[in-house]
């Protein structure tokens, strides 16, 4: 089978003759429930993204009705023209000491939700199926990974991935060699570089690295980022966010453009996902790619990163 890095490279965003390693994160569609009006609005948004050249779409069983929205979107295009990725959680309970319990019900639920994704999406084939927000790769090794490998042999899925915040889980998965991709979110951006070990290992293993949430859920657009609660970002990081926002204002830097273009600077990032919630998000993404930063603006951003304490320390190391 074609290596995942090569496959993904064929589904880059085509914008005015340029190919960009940007895809659509579908976490924000399907949040309005399954009413006809809400469904039509979200499907229309995805169709607009497709019309503008996007060919990589990532969703999850955990994103409300997102899979159903994506499924309706797929019925209106040629399925073969896009790369489709989805995810499902596998989070068995823990004992009082924090050790994961091997509970049959947890694995049975994972299997059920796996097959439900195909029904919700209305497809018989998914390019990339990812284990979503699992804190441990070890707990997935005996049942979940063999199950996904069997589905891979059957042709239901082409690739197996991890989509989680845990740096340790990602590195364990890549080292094991049975996982084709690592989707990391909020850990490789202007404020945080803690995903660098994942990027290096993914390159070594010829696996794909997928970067997400580079905009930190709009934190840099806030008037005072220190006052906005963002999961995974403690008080110190929000303080750095305020400093970065102030720097962007001083140097007339579009924070959206800087955030997206920073991820694209690294050739070892195979795909960057940007969450599109409304048409204005799509428009700002297009604008961000049409306005490259000047060298002096990049220099200011890199100086900030060099002065930013613990930028490479993962949040799981209890740095807040």
Is the whole-model pTM more than 0.85? Answer: yes
Domains of the chain: 4-218+254-295 (3.20.20.100)
Report yes or no: 13 and 22 within 8 Å, Cβ to Cβ: yes
Closest by CA position to 4, among listed 243, 205, 200: 205
Q: What is the pLDDT of residue 237?
A: 79
Query: How far from 240 is each of 187, 191, 210, 277, CA to CA, in Å?
Result: 14, 7, 24, 26
Q: What is the pLDDT of residue 320?
A: 32
Q: At what angle do helices 279-290 and 255-265 cross, to 10 degrees?
A: 60
Residues whose CB falls within 8 Å of the CB of residue 40, separated by 6 or more in sequence, listed in order: none
Q: pLDDT tens digits, the chain, 320 residues: what are they? A: 899 999 999 999 999 899 999 999 999 999 887 788 889 999 999 999 999 999 999 999 999 899 999 999 999 999 999 999 999 999 776 667 666 667 778 899 999 999 999 999 999 999 999 999 988 899 999 999 999 999 999 999 999 999 999 999 999 999 999 999 999 999 999 999 999 999 999 999 999 999 999 988 777 777 778 777 666 677 777 888 899 999 999 999 999 999 999 999 999 999 999 999 999 999 999 999 999 999 999 999 999 999 987 788 876 543 33
Q: What is the pLDDT of residue 226?
A: 76
């Amino acid at each position: 089978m074609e290596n995942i890095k090569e496959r993904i490279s064929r589904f880059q965003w085509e914008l005015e003759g340029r190919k960009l390693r940007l895809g659509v994160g579908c976490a924000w569609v399907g949040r309005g429930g399954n009413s006809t009006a809400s469904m039509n609005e979200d499907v229309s948004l995805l169709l607009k993204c497709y019309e503008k050249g996007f060919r990589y779409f990532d969703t999850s069983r955990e994103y409300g009705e997102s899979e159903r929205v994506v499924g309706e979107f797929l019925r209106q295009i040629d399925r073969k023209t896009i790369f489709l990725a989805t995810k499902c959680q596998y989070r068995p309970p823990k004992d009082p000491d924090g050790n994961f319990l091997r509970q049959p019900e947890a694995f049975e639920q994972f299997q059920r939700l796996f097959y439900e994704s195909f029904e919700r999406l209305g497809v018989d084939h998914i390019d990339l199926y990812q284990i979503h927000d699992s804190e441990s790769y070890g707990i997935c090794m005996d049942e979940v990974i063999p199950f996904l490998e069997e589905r891979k042999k059957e042709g239901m899925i082409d690739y197996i991935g991890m989509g989680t915040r845990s740096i340790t889980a990602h590195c364990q998965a890549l080292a094991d060699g049975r996982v084709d991709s690592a989707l990391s979110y909020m850990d490789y951006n202007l404020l945080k570089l803690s995903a660098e070990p994942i990027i290096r290992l993914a390159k070594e293993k010829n696996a794909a690295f997928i970067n997400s949430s580079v905009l930190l859920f709009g934190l840099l657009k806030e008037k005072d980022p220190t006052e906005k609660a963002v999961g995974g970002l403690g008080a110190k990081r929000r303080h750095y966010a305020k400093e970065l926002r102030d720097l962007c204002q001083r140097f007339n830097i579009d924070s959206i453009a800087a955030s997206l273009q920073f991820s694209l600077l690294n050739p070892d990032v195979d795909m960057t996902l940007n969450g599109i919630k409304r048409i204005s998000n799509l428009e700002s993404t297009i604008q961000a790619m049409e306005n490259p930063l000047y060298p002096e603006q990049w220099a200011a951003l890199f100086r900030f990163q060099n002065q930013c304490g613990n930028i490479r320390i993962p949040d799981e190391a209890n740095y807040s």
